[in-house]
Amino acid sequence: IYARIFESDLGYIDVGQKALISIPAYQEKIEGVVRNIAEVIDPESRTTRVRLELLNYKGELKVNMFADIEMPVEFDQVLVVPKEAILDAGKGKIVFVQKSEGVFEPRMVQTGLEGDGLINIKSGLKKGERIVVSGNFLIDSESQLQAALEGFSRQPTAKSLE
């Protein structure tokens, strides 16, 4: 089988890697192995061709048949958080960390890869810290409101406009 792999996914694919191929026309699942990765990227689709060898397959495939290909990838253990825990503040990404019961602090984090609703945290959090997973918008809105109210409570300075 020849498959098209996106350029951005090439770092996860290697010769000898196992694959699970589903052929919808026959409702079959077959194991395969990556045997070759082409050296050329198609400039329009940003993909390259990968050749898969099917292991112990006795069925018949036709030219241009569709197949779904899964290539399981194992990552090193990393710290991940649910995507909804990340608040994009424009200048950076923020996670709200629980300091004590009902008290949260915003913390800038650097993120990495994203997948399956999870985002890798490269820096800014430690394992075991409790974070807000949902309701970030509410917390962020409340903190902006409190900052605005604090500004009103200070002694205002008047300046006439001319």
Instruction: Yes or no: say if 35 and 51 are a contact pair by the CB < 8 Å rule.
Output: yes
pTM of the model as a whole: 0.52
CA-based Rg of the chain, rounded to a whole angstrom? 25
**Residue pLDDT, tens place only, 83-93:** 988 888 778 88
The whole-number pLDDT of residue 38 equals 96
Amino acid (1-letter code) at residue 7:
E
**Cα–Cα distance between 8 and 24 in angstroms, integer?**
26
Of all helices (H) and strands (E), which one includes residue 48? strand 47-54
- Report the C-alpha gap between 84 and 119 in whole angstroms: 9
Q: What is the DSSP letter of 30?
A: E
pLDDT digits 0-9 by tens, 9-58: 888 899 999 999 999 999 999 999 999 999 999 999 999 999 999 988 88
Residue with tokens 């500004």: 151
Res. 120: pLDDT tops 70: yes
